Amino acid sequence: MVKKQTSIGKSLLWSFVSCVALGTSSALAATCPDGFPSRPINFYVGYAAGGGTDSIARTLAQAIEESHGWNIVVENRPGAASAVMAQELLNAQPDGYSIGLGSSDTMVWNPTSGDLDFHYSDFHFLGSTMDSWNSFAALSTAPFDDIASLVEYTRETGMATVAVAGFNQTLVVEQLAEQYDINLVPVPVGGSSESMMLTLGGHVDATIQGVAHLGELRSGNMKQLASLTTHRLPYAPDSATLEEQGAEALPIQSVTVLMAPRELDPEIRTCLEGVVDEAVNSEIFADLMTKFENKAVNRGPDGVLELISNRDARLRELFNEPAAE
C-alpha cells in the first residue's frame, strides 16, 4: 500500500514547488519594436481542443490581449504528440507571427517516430508555462490502487490497457510491462480529453494524465495510482512515485513550452520572450494554475533548452542512440 504523507510533508512539498516557481520566473519587461505586431499572431497548439494545453494557450492569449491589446488566434494542430504542430512551425516564416505551444518532449528524440525532419536546435524557445506533472489514474472502482496491485491485476486477467498521449507516456507503460513481464498495453490517443473519455467509459483500465483528471479526483470518481514525476504531487500526496513503489520506468520530465522558428529577428525575439513571461506571471494565468493545482513556472529560453537537451541525451543513452549531428 502507498504510505501516507503527513501534513508537514504536504507543507514541505508545497514549499518546494513554490520555491521552484519563484526561483525560475524572470519577470521580464516586454520591449517590442515599433509597429509590432501589425496583424494577429497565431498560437498553434499541439493538442486537441478541450485539454490542459489548449486551456493554457487560450489563457495566455487572453492575458496578452488584455495587457497589450494584441490579437491572438489560437489554432489546434493535434497529432503525433504535437509533432504535427512543430512541423508546421518549422515551415512558418520567422517573423514572430507564428508561435507553437506544446510539450518539451516533442523536441526530444523518439525511437518510434522515424525521421521527423526537425531537431530542437531548429527552434527558438520563448519560455515555459508550467512543469508537467504526469500521473497514473484509474476509475475509483478499479480493482487496483497502486503499481503493485495493477501488476497483480494484469497478471490475473492476462492484459490491462493504458490510454497514452505521446511517446513519453508510452515509454513508461512499456518499461513497466518489461520490468514485471506483464501484458500492459499502451493505447495511443490524440490527447488528454480523448484519454479521459476512454477511461471514464471503461474502455481502458487506466490513463496517464497531467491535469484533465483533477476534477474526477476531487469528486472521487477517479483515483491516482502513482506519480510519474520525481516527486509526489500536492493534489495526491498519498500517491507515491514510481521509484518509491519499486518501478524502474523513467520518470516523465517535461514542461509546457512556447516556441518559434529559429531565425527570429533579435528585437522580436526579445519582445516575445518578455510578453510570454508577463502572461505566465499574470493573475489570470495564476487562476488557471490554481485550478490545475500547479504553479506557473517560466524556465526561460536557456532553462527550456537545457531541460530538452538533457532529456534528449538521457533517452539516446537509454536506447544506445548516438547524439544528433
Integer CA distances (angstroms), 80 to 87, 103, 109, 114, 290, in order: 10, 11, 13, 12, 29
Angle at 198 between CA 192 and CA 202, to 5 degrees: 140
Spell out the per-residue pLDDT of the chain, length 325, in tens: 333 333 334 443 444 444 444 434 444 557 999 999 999 999 999 988 888 899 999 999 999 999 999 999 999 998 777 888 999 999 999 999 999 999 998 888 877 766 677 899 999 999 999 999 999 999 999 999 999 999 999 999 999 999 998 888 999 999 999 999 999 999 998 778 899 999 999 999 999 998 889 999 999 999 999 999 999 999 999 999 999 999 999 999 899 999 999 999 999 999 999 999 999 999 999 999 999 999 999 999 999 999 999 999 998 898 888 877 6
Are 316 and 322 spatial neighbours (Cβ–Cβ below 8 Å)?
Answer: yes
Angle at 194 between CA 312 and CA 110, to 5 degrees: 15
Integer CA distances (angstroms), 122 to 205, 253, 265, 268, in order: 38, 21, 15, 17
Contacts within 8 Å (CB) and 24+ apart, 318-324: 318/250, 319/111, 321/109, 321/111, 324/109, 324/119
Distance of CA 201 to the CA centre of its chain: 24
Are 296 and 280 spatial neighbours (Cβ–Cβ below 8 Å)?
Answer: yes
Are 91 and 42 spatial neighbours (Cβ–Cβ below 8 Å)?
Answer: no
pLDDT of the residue at 149: 98
For cell 494542430, name the residue.
77
Give the C-alpha separation, 95 to 212, whole Å: 33
Does residue 9 come out as left (phi exceeding 0), alpha (psi in the -120 to 50 range) or beta? alpha
160-164: strand order across its sheet: 184-188, 160-164, 206-209, 135-139, 222-227
Are 170 and 112 spatial neighbours (Cβ–Cβ below 8 Å)?
Answer: yes
List of domains in the chain: 18-131+253-318 (3.40.190.150), 135-227 (3.40.190.10)
Whether the predicted model's global pTM rises above the 0.85 cut: no
Give the C-alpha separation, 56 to 72, whole Å: 13
Integer CA distances (angstroms), 45 to 9, 57, 86, 106, in order: 36, 7, 9, 12
Are 216 and 222 spatial neighbours (Cβ–Cβ below 8 Å)?
Answer: yes
Give the C-alpha separation, 14 to 43, whole Å: 31
pLDDT of the residue at 41: 98
pLDDT of the residue at 6: 38
For 211, the grid coordinates are 491535469
pLDDT of the residue at 29: 59
Give the C-alpha separation, 54 to 62, whole Å: 12
Angle at 177 between CA 175 and CA 179, to 5 degrees: 65
Integer CA distances (angstroms), 234 to 227, 281, 293, in order: 10, 20, 7
Give the C-alpha separation, 275 to 63, whole Å: 10
